[in-house]
């Protein structure tokens, strides 16, 4: 077992081991019953976590997936960048569908705000890169303003936080300064991008966002204190990672990444809990690989096999609707993200999608110029140079969506799971064969998970 986890701790974490959309929403929904606080600690509305309950599907972007369970406290930690407009919309949509959203949603007063100028900057930076260096150099962001909002957090003098919304005078004062700077900066970027730019009006923005603050005021609090006192009082925490470890700002395929620490390393800064808080740490992975946006992808299948995976897996983005790029399972990726994050177990998702292939190819390592690559390529450019080394396994013809017991899986499917465990060195404890709660097999004795 690898990593910095505390096995006896009652707190747990889940996060993605690939490039996002691994099925984190489904796993959080399955595990929530065992925990009291469900905590988002990174990312923003770039995330799209789908949960299916019976025939009802929910897409969550900022609110932890635990919101669909009664009597759980859902926390948006300080490490998340919050777009108040999207959040209010998400709350309204849930409430209209009969989901309770009140005291059970808490937002950190330290979480930074995504402002409209962040979203514009996100789009204009992509347009500027495209104009100057070509379309292929774009990051392919979700356009949700994530990078610019985190950049302002680090810049400090231009960062605005949820707590600022509760003090209108302070917020107005800050906005007057920030909007002047943003207008100057965005005007310059617009020149490079060849785009039109209409300067922002500080008073208008201030008024609108103080209004959003009023709507959200009852949810905004000191979530670090809430977590700290909760843990002291015996509450159990489940941390819900967003995006995926290969999109991690430090450890992913830079620069084709998002702007936060998506894995376990992000939990402590992004929620304000001490290192080693987490025990059970479940890495979520698809049985194959997908990626949205630009960047290298060693096992990508730009052919009929890739299209078959896309069709069977319904691989279209929850947030942007973009077709996801699809390819064979890359275990060099998962072995690396397992090491970075210190996972104690794996949830293998969307396994049903692989039924019906004659042969299944799995990448078990990389080579450059015929020599094996030690470690993981440092960035996107280095990853582009590798050749995947494949192991081929016979496929399984039988559909497995109705399997409920691990022993019911075809022998070739079990051999695939064995290969994952052997290459990654971590047990596969959850196998998922469909989006529904019931389409899940638990391989080790866990407490009741409601399936």
Number of residues that bind ligand IMO (CB under 6 A): 24
In terms of Cα–Cα distance, which of 106, 317, 369, 307 is closest to 225?
106
353 binds ligand GDP (CB under 6 A): yes
**Beta-carbon count within 10 A of 429 CB:** 18
Select from 68, 285, 433, 441 the one that contacts ligand GDP (CB under 6 A): 433
Tokens of 57: 């599907």
Token look-up 């001490």 returns 274
97-101: which pairs have CB atoms within 8 A and are 24 or more residues apart? 97/56, 97/58, 99/58, 99/67, 99/68, 100/70, 101/63, 101/67
147 binds ligand IMO (CB under 6 A): yes
26 binds ligand GDP (CB under 6 A): yes
Asked whether the beta carbons of 152 and 122 are under 8 A apart, the reply is no
49 labelled catalytic? yes
43 binds ligand GDP (CB under 6 A): no
Given the DSSP bridges, would you call strands 371-372 and 359-368 parallel, antiparallel or unpaired? antiparallel
Q: Which does 46 bind (CB under 5 to 8 A by kind): Mg ion, ligand GDP, ligand IMO, none?
A: ligand IMO
Select from 213, 293, 327, 388 the one that contacts ligand IMO (CB under 6 A): 293
First to last CA, the chain: 27
Selecting among 11, 29, 36, 49, the annotated active-site residue is 49
| Residues 18-47 as x/- pattern, contact with Mg ion by CB under 5 A | ---x--------------------------
Q: Which does 258 bind (CB under 5 to 8 A by kind): ligand IMO, Mg ion, ligand GDP, none?
A: ligand IMO
Of 189 and 415, CB closest to ligand IMO: 189
Select from 116, 140, 279, 427 the one that contacts ligand IMO (CB under 6 A): 140
* Cα 13 → chain centroid: 13
Residue 289's SS3 state is strand
60 binds ligand IMO (CB under 6 A): no
Task: Write down the least CB distance from residue 130 to ligand GDP, Å.
Answer: 26
Of 175 and 347, CB closest to ligand GDP: 347
258 binds ligand IMO (CB under 6 A): yes
| CA dist list (Å): 70 to 74, 101, 271, 372, 437 | 10, 10, 22, 50, 16
Task: Write down the least CB distance from residue 276 to Mg ion, Å.
Answer: 28
349 binds ligand IMO (CB under 6 A): no
Selecting among 11, 21, 118, 248, the annotated active-site residue is 21
25 binds ligand GDP (CB under 6 A): yes
Of 206 and 432, CB closest to ligand GDP: 432
Ranges within 311-330 binding ligand GDP (CB under 6 A): 313, 318
318 binds Mg ion (CB under 5 A): yes
Of 132-140, 225-233, 416-424, 426-434, the window that binds ligand GDP (rule: CB under 6 A) is 426-434
| Residues 18-37 as x/- pattern, contact with ligand IMO by CB under 6 A | -xxx----------------
Of 226 and 329, CB closest to ligand IMO: 329
247 binds ligand IMO (CB under 6 A): yes
Q: Residue 98: exposed, middle, or buried by beta-carbon count in 10 A (0-12, 13-18, 19+)? A: exposed
In terms of Cα–Cα distance, which of 424, 400, 426, 427 is closest to 412?
400
In terms of Cα–Cα distance, which of 293, 301, 273, 283 is closest to 245?
283
Task: Write down the least CB distance from residue 422 to ligand IMO, Å.
Answer: 26
Tokens of 76: 């948006």
Q: Helices 168-193 and 116-133 meet at what angle, rounded to 10?
A: 20
Select from 141, 223, 344, 429 the one that contacts ligand IMO (CB under 6 A): 141
48 binds ligand IMO (CB under 6 A): yes
Specify the DSSP class assigned to residue 392.
E
List of E strands, 287-438: 289-291, 325-327, 329-330, 345-349, 359-368, 371-372, 387-394, 428-432
350 binds ligand GDP (CB under 6 A): yes
52 binds ligand GDP (CB under 6 A): yes
Contact residues for 432 (Cβ-Cβ < 8 A; gap 6+): 23, 26, 27, 347, 348, 349, 350, 351, 439, 440, 441
Residues lying near ligand GDP in the complex (CB under 6 A) are found at 16, 20-26, 48-50, 52, 313, 318, 349-350, 352-353, 432-435
Active site amino acids: 21, 49
């Amino acid at each position: 077992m690898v990593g910095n986890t505390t096995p006896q701790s009652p707190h747990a974490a889940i996060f993605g081991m690939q490039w996002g959309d691994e099925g984190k929403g489904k796993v959080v929904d399955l595990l929530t019953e065992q925990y009291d606080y469900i905590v988002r600690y990174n990312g923003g509305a770039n995330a799209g976590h789908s949960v299916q309950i019976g025939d009802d599907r929910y897409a969550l972007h900022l609110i932890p997936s635990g919101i669909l369970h009664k009597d759980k406290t859902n926390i948006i930690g300080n490490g998340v960048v919050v777009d108040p407009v999207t959040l209010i919309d998400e709350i309204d949509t849930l409430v209209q569908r009969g989901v309770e959203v009140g005291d059970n949603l808490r937002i950190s007063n330290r979480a930074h705000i995504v402002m409209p100028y962040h979203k514009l900057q996100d789009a204009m930076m992509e347009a500027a890169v495209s104009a100057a260096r070509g379309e292929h150099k774009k990051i392919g962001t979700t356009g949700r303003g994530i990078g610019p909002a985190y950049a302002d957090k680090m810049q400090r003098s231009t960062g605005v936080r949820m707590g600022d919304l509760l003090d209108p005078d302070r917020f107005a004062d800050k906005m007057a300064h920030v909007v002047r700077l943003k207008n100057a900066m965005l005007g310059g970027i617009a020149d490079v991008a060849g785009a039109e730019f209409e300067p922002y009006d500080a008073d208008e923005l201030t008024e609108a966002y103080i209004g959003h603050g009023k709507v959200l005021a009852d949810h905004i609090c000191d979530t670090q204190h809430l977590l700290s006192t909760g843990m002291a009082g015996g509450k159990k925490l489940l941390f819900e990672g967003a995006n995926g470890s290969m999109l991690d700002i430090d450890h992913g395929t830079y620069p084709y990444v998002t702007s936060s620490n998506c894995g376990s390393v992000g939990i402590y800064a992004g929620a304000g809990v001490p290192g080693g808080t987490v025990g059970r740490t479940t890495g979520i992975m698809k049985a194959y690989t997908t990626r949205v946006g630009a960047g290298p992808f060693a096992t990508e299948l730009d052919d009929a096999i890739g299209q078959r995976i896309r069709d069977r897996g319904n691989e279209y983005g929850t947030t942007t609707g973009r077709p996801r790029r699809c390819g064979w399972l890359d275990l060099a990726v998962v072995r690396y993200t397992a090491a970075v994050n210190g996972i104690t177990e794996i949830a293998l998702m969307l396994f049903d999608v692989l039924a019906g292939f004659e042969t299944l190819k799995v990448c078990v390592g990389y080579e450059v110029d015929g020599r094996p690559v030690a470690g993981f390529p440092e960035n996107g450019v280095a990853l582009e140079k590798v050749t995947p080394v494949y192991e081929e396994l016979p496929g399984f013809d039988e559909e497995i969506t109705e399997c409920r017991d691990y022993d019911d899986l075809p022998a070739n499917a079990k051999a695939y799971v064995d290969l994952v465990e052997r290459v990654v060195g971590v047990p596969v404890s959850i196998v998922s064969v469909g989006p529904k709660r019931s389409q899940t097999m638990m391989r080790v004795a866990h407490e009741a998970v409601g399936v």
